[in-house]
Amino acid sequence: MARQTAGTKTKKNPKQTTSAASKKTGKENEQETEKIEETQNGKPSKHENTLTSLTNSILTLFNKSQHSLTSHRKLVNNLHSLFLSSTEIREQIENGDGTDKTIKLIGEKNFTEACYTVLDNIVSTKKGVVEADRVVRFFGAFCAFATEHDPHKESEDQTATNRFLLHSIKYLSRGFEAKNRFVRFRCCQLIAYVVNSLEEIDDDLFSDLKHKLLIRIHDKEKDVRQQAAIALMNFRPVNEEDEEEDSEENVNDALIDLMMRDPSSEVRRTVLHKLCETPSTTTLPAILTRLRDIDPLIRRMVYRDLYLATLAKPEPTLPPDPSQCFSLDQRYTILKGLKDREESVRKETANLANCWIKVGFKENIEAFLATMDLISLGFGEEDEDEKNKIENIENVVKTWLTSHGLDPTLELDEVENDQPDEFGSDSWWTNINPERAFLLRVAAEHYKSFSDEKLDEVMPVVTALAFRMEHNFQALTELLQTVEQLSPSQMEDEETAEKIQLAAQKTFVLRELLTVAMLADYGDEIGRRKMFSLLRDLVSDPLLPHSLIPGCLEVLSKLSTGERDFMRVIVELVQELRCNLDTDPNFTTSKNVDGAPDGQEDDDDDDSEPDEGAGEASFRKGKDGKLQVTTFTLNPANADLDSRCLEIVRSLLERVSGSIKDNTSMFGIVHELIVPAVRCKDTPIRERGLVCLGLCSLLDKPERVIEFLLYSLDQDSKDVQATAVIGISKLMLSGIITSSEVLQMLVLVYFSPETCDNQKLRQCLSYFLPVYCYCSSVNQRRMQSMMLPALDVLSGVYDDQEDKSEMLSPSQIALQLVDWTDPSKVVVLPGCKVDWDLHLDAAIDILKNLYRVTEKDERKMLCQMLPKLTLPDTLDNVHKLRGLSLLISQLDEKRPLTDSLSRNVLNKFHTSLEKRFAEKLSEGAEKGDQSDKETEEEEEEELKEFKDFIDEFNGDQDGNGSSEADDLNSDPDAANDDYSAKVVVKKTPTKKSIKSVARISMASLRNEEVTDSENEGPAPRRSGRPRASRQPDPKVASVNEELASLIGSSTDEDGSSQDESTEKED
């Protein structure tokens, strides 16, 4: 039986083909008889010259086809004419018995052999040869043209065209097993063209060829696999019912496997494109898996092919309504492309989504949203997958709004009914449904990002919005009350199911309106008050679904004046909900400290089981002045109310950042609600209580970010150090970390000799430090504040370094630090100013350090830094200039320099300073000549800071500071002197490692925090744990003890807390 191949426009019923001669006229028979007689008489046949001429003509046409593609159409017609002429050349030979005659198709044979000659030369040509590719395309075009213009197409017998194509297939299929990869590639390529032109094929040849192609799709060469897959596309079943039962020979499965798992993106792309031309329920799920392909071209091709299949002519291969061919999850998967990292993929996804809405739903976006099951997604916000689905639908709506008239970049004349005329009208609000509420919310968020005018057109007035929300909530409460009054037998009715569905829709609408309320402008005080009172009533209403509580609190937090006010409002609301429980005798019991109730004896049985939630106590003074303990419990009868209160508290804690200790209004909630809920035996209440307790712990957790970052640098592993440096650099460049301590640590690590072989760390810091300093004057100020302390530590490390080549000298480091703080190199951004006083402050710090330091080399290094400072002529800070001049002039008297080179450098700097700023420095002298007392007092006040600093140091006779050190060793009171103390305390490190540098840095920072009263160094590091108050609040201590008992560990309190507990015991 003959088999039909896929990909043909018309199909014939398969029938057994036989080789029979066509009907001939009497004249044709006479001509054939003459040919036979001439052959028998030994005369040369007149067809011999004709065949030779035809062969030459065929080869000539193939030769011309390799030059240009534009002439192929004409050459194909000529070749087809030669083929028809060849089919008419035949020989008739009589059999031995003289009864029958055999007709030899010598013309067809000659044409086929001529084509074989050309194909033999092509198959050995490698890929990429343009001439060979043109000949292949020419041969394929001829096969298709011959099939289409076959004069005997309607004949039931095998035609000359079919015989030629079948002979070509058999001839080319022999090259599938060739060792030469080019032969396999060209044979598969030619087979793909031939099979695509063939309408019918013999069953045996069909099976044999399919089997060989299934083997070739696993060839080691990707080009062979690609061409074999193209050829195999024609062997797919025409209908899904025709699929083979044998899984090993299933073409669809083989192609799907090739599309999903082939390592070559070109092969996957080719198979994908072919499968998308005729998608089916079998191939569509596999096609959608390519939406997550690593190749962006494949991801883009999926959306492009689906778009073309939807708009295919004359009849689309995919219905324009996606709900008819894709499941809900598949549609969500397709819409993920709107968040793809590639712009081209996002663009194709938007085109497909807009095509669905425009063609499938007649530009009615509400109808499209109705098919996306918004209600089920609205109640799964805690699920990450549900959030992603909602975000995908939002992106579809925003894409539609952007491209269809609501975006300001489009003219209004181009819009064709993109938005209903009744949008926002009374009828629109009366019939509001989840789709409209969702559309309103997304449109408001979309327009808020770029157009306030469009937002005003979409957003309702705050007062009107509040009334709409109130009306919707009233309808919701009526439905919920009706459902609650039904009996269990009535819950299964269809009418009840409709009411439940309608309640879910109302809940979704209210949720969306709460989000819209977050975008409203509350400049109208009347509208703000109306919204505030409405939300308070909603939260306190017992019928409000728990899923709407976070949205209500989100709007309340915006309406509140601050975080404290927000917490106060919510705490009062929770206390109002629980106020009726205070009269319940089962809720609280008061006992004296000895354990007996007021006016009663403790007659509880020792064997009785404790009540649920019992065991939480607080101390209060009774009327008799004795200390009483109040134990709070949760009544099981009020489980619903407790659960609602815990949900409210949870939503509150998720939206505040202040510590519980800083908000005393939360003490009662923690003590009376959260802690008893943790001890409750009811699982839902205990779970909510644990969540609230965890949030309280997070709010009270001390921030030890700086300590952790410094600890991460104090590691032995080079990879850990490098990774930590990279992370800290990114955090500092982005402005998340602004600590001078961390910056100082990075500088110490960068210049440390222990990091000389850590190239990754050095490379990161060599880029980060200059970029960080030059991008902002604030950063330069931060670097200047820790310049001298870091230089002091590095000088000590350099002194103890045996191999000086592993570390830069302190002088070189100092010059590098001065360069990083140069204000002339900072990048000036719009709206930012350059801090030109930065090096002036650095000069003052250097002069003050010259007073303190006595070592010759260190003083020399400080003096060498002065000429490198940038002091522009535009400096107008006369106070600091005069103070700097005063420090220089008094240095020779108080702490003279013993090194002549250092004195010369300092004198040159002083001379240059007085010369450049002579006018500003002389202002003080002119004021002094006026003998004005007020002027003198102002001058004294300006220079008092510098004079006080100079007065701390007595004149040194030797000039090297040795007398102070000697006096300090003999006089214990000398430790009170700031200069002497610092000279003696300063010690260089004994270990040359990053850890030692880190410890020295931290120690120096702590020392500055304790002893240094001058704000010269970096900001003191905050303690990781907050300090205890001198007069601690008993409520705070009680709450802390309760939280510590619940988590099973004792709190690490300071000495004041310990004294507090001692006082309680006493």
Is pLDDT at 1060 greater than 60 in this prediction?
no
Residues ≥6 apart with Cβ < 8 Å to 811: 861, 864
Closest CA to 378 of 274, 510, 271, 224: 510
Query: Torsion angle of alpha carbons 387, 391, 397, 399, nearest 10°?
Result: -170
Is pLDDT at 417 greater than 70 in this prediction?
no
- pLDDT at residue number 555: 94
Of the pLDDT bands very low, low, confident and very high (cuts 50, 70, 90), residue 999 is low
Four-residue CA torsion sign, 407, 408, 412, 414: negative
Is pLDDT at 843 greater than 90 in this prediction?
no
- pLDDT at residue number 68: 92
Task: Judge whether 343 lies within some domain.
Answer: no
Of the pLDDT bands very low, low, confident and very high (cuts 50, 70, 90), residue 1042 is low
Query: Torsion angle of alpha carbons 109, 111, 113, 116, nearest 10°?
Result: -140
Using the 3D structure, point to which of 698, 720, 752 is the last residue of a domain: 698
Look up residue 628 and give its two tokens: 């009483």
Of the pLDDT bands very low, low, confident and very high (cuts 50, 70, 90), residue 1055 is very low
When computed from its CA atoms, the radius of gyration of the chain, rounded to whole angstroms, is 46
Task: Judge whether 351 lies within some domain.
Answer: no
Q: 554 with 636, same domain?
A: no
Task: Judge whether 106 lies within some domain.
Answer: yes
- pLDDT at residue number 43: 45
Q: 80 with 198, same domain?
A: yes
Q: Using CA atoms, how far apart are residues 875 and 913, in angstroms rounded to an integer?
A: 11
Task: Judge whether 691 lies within some domain.
Answer: yes
Listed ranges 32-36, 137-141, 448-452, 816-820; the one with the highest mean pLDDT = 137-141
Is pLDDT at 419 greater than 80 in this prediction?
no
Closest CA to 917 of 953, 869, 948, 885: 885
User: Mean pLDDT across the stretch 757-764?
Assistant: 91
Q: Using CA atoms, how far apart are residues 621 and 627, in angstroms rounded to an integer?
A: 4
Closest CA to 724 of 751, 761, 756: 761
Phi then psi for 1026, rounded to 5 degrees? -65, 145
Is pLDDT at 1002 greater than 50 in this prediction?
no
Is pLDDT at 486 greater than 90 in this prediction?
no
Of the pLDDT bands very low, low, confident and very high (cuts 50, 70, 90), residue 18 is very low
Instruction: Compute CA 522 distance to the chain's CA centroid, rounded to the nearest angstrom.
Output: 33
Is pLDDT at 631 greater than 80 in this prediction?
no
- pLDDT at residue number 845: 86
Q: 795 with 879, same domain?
A: no
Segment 175-219, tens digit of pLDDT: 999 999 999 999 999 999 999 888 788 888 889 999 999 999 999
- What's the domain count of the chain? 5
Task: Judge whether 184 lies within some domain.
Answer: yes
Is pLDDT at 698 greater than 60 in this prediction?
yes
Of the pLDDT bands very low, low, confident and very high (cuts 50, 70, 90), residue 599 is very low
Which residue would you say has higher pLDDT here, 877 or 238?
877
Of the pLDDT bands very low, low, confident and very high (cuts 50, 70, 90), residue 1011 is very low
Using the 3D structure, point to which of 218, 239, 274 is the last residue of a domain: 218
- pLDDT at residue number 247: 44
Is pLDDT at 601 greater than 70 in this prediction?
no
β-partners of residue 103 are 92
DSSP character for 611?
P
Q: 719 with 665, same domain?
A: no
For the chain, the helix, strand and coil percentages under 3-state DSSP, each to the nearest 5: 65, 5, 30
Q: 829 with 878, same domain?
A: no
Segment 673-691, tens digit of pLDDT: 899 999 888 888 999 999 9
Closest CA to 176 of 132, 121, 225: 225
Q: 42 with 191, same domain?
A: yes
Closest CA to 988 of 820, 857, 846, 794: 794
548: three-class secondary structure by DSSP = helix
- pLDDT at residue number 924: 53
Quote the mean pLDDT of the chain: 77
DSSP assignments along 758-805, one per residue: -HHHHHHHHHHHHHHHHT-HHHHHHHHHTHHHHHHHHHHHHHT-S-GG
Which residue would you say has higher pLDDT here, 963 or 785?
785
pTM: 0.64
Q: 808 with 915, same domain?
A: no
Task: Judge whether 972 lies within some domain.
Answer: no
Is pLDDT at 805 greater than 90 in this prediction?
no
β-partners of residue 590 are 630
Q: Using CA atoms, how far apart are residues 677 and 685, in angstroms rounded to an integer?
A: 6
Phi then psi for 940, rounded to 5 degrees? -65, -40
Amino acid in the structure at residue 756: C
% of the chain surpassing 70 pLDDT: 73
- pLDDT at residue number 710: 79
% of the chain surpassing 90 pLDDT: 38
The residue count for the chain: 1066
Segment 1019-1028, tens digit of pLDDT: 333 333 333 3
Q: 468 with 529, same domain?
A: yes
Q: Using CA atoms, how far apart are residues 212 and 176, in angstroms rounded to an integer?
A: 7
Task: Judge whether 643 lies within some domain.
Answer: yes
- pLDDT at residue number 231: 93
Using the 3D structure, point to which of 679, 698, 717 is the last residue of a domain: 698
Closest CA to 160 of 119, 112, 116: 112
**HSE, side-chain direction, 13 A CA sphere, residue 11:** 11
Look up residue 692 and give its two tokens: 């609230």
Task: Judge whether 415 lies within some domain.
Answer: no
User: 684 lies in which domain range?
Assistant: 580-599+610-698
Q: 693 with 740, same domain?
A: no
Q: Using CA atoms, how far apart are residues 267 and 285, in angstroms rounded to an integer?
A: 19
- pLDDT at residue number 965: 36
Segment 40-71, tens digit of pLDDT: 444 445 568 888 999 999 999 999 999 999 99
Residues ≥6 apart with Cβ < 8 Å to 962: 854
Is pLDDT at 777 greater than 60 in this prediction?
yes
Q: 813 with 685, same domain?
A: no
Q: 56 with 195, same domain?
A: yes
User: Mean pLDDT across the stretch 506-526?
Assistant: 92
Q: Using CA atoms, how far apart are residues 763 and 297, in angstroms rounded to an integer?
A: 36
Q: 545 with 673, same domain?
A: no
Closest CA to 162 of 108, 215, 123: 108
